[in-house]
Structure 1
């Protein structure tokens, strides 16, 4: 195949085709009359290169993309991180412009964090919520088994402070989910994850489970006392408290597997329709 045929099929200039060949993105053979002979595979590669260039891939990134599956995965993860970082910045810009349009004074605008730092540590994990969900499920089961079946019930009388900590942790989880739901509503699906954000989010989930377990343990201690006193009303209340915190904990475990608040609500609606 002559270069004129390749130009017609790829819509690339002769200069671009030769440039990509010189940079090692594809190789050609030689025909009997010593002209370069372009193959159908060369055309496919050039079309792919053109599309990757449209996606702002550098020559080095394109070379890595075709070099091996491992390098391809690394390049795509890095590009996803860069793109999602820019989308997050553009979302903040949009909010600021809307505030200015609505009459807010420029002096009161906070532009901190608007600059994109390419070296900011991010992680891209395929099906990140499934990975985090598994960690949360294991943690929830471990806490439940420890506090309900291993730890001897003890009356520390600290249910009030533990309940307050549980509410704070649950509120922080809700803030995380609300932020991601807001971005997704604007068409921004945040795929990159800061390592600190992953750890912090998991920590709040873990605190919720720990407080649930500790409060349930207190309720078990109270149940023993109520049974000894034949106070069956107290026993019933203790069981209700355990079931309430258990229900919230199960809900948070399920939520950790899902992407945002709407997906969580849709999950429970679908379960209700099945029932």
Structure 2
């Protein structure tokens, strides 16, 4: 797919894009994007090589990922992401912390009609979190609604069509008099169910964290990711709370706990006992 002059994030034509001069991919056709809506990242050409609709889906996942995590924090500093696409590297750690494999993100792309509808209502709730808040169809919703087309006229039609489908499912209410939509009680109930499931989708790692255990920890993290769960190490989580309550909170919302005592550690014993 050839990128045109529209921004792949907001659809505008005034957003900055320049060839990347970063040390990770210097000398390639990677592009640095600075979207007026706040998205800043570098994208390797491997992301936009391929079928047009497939590439559009990849940008949906990049957009949704950056909505939640616009930067990666390293040693207390915020750094921009470098996105690439490589299927053979799924489940492996990138060779640089700023790199993010879009093939990994695609594992969470909705696979069925109902899966898509439920994820869409969840996306809308993040953008419109106030009960009763109304919104109108806009082309900038294409990422939230997983609109797979690239032509602007078709996007506008499909945006409205998806919202109408959500009305038919009962997840949205539609006020035809003023063209506005809002999330229904049934929609908020579905969102509550999904939030509960999301908090139970991680595996907690309890072990001694030091240089000698890095290989063991990385193996656990890769295995947990391959099984479709999110690995959680408490030392990698940003927080301003007391450490013990935070550990117990993370364990309580985990599906399982992996404990390694190759190197004796009182914290790991405590977490295993809890």
Higher relative contact order (CA 8 A, sep 6+): 1
Which TM-score bucket, shorter chain as reference?
under 0.3
- Structure with greater Cα Rg: 1
- What TM-score do you get using the length of structure 1 for normalisation? 0.23
TM-score (norm 2): 0.23
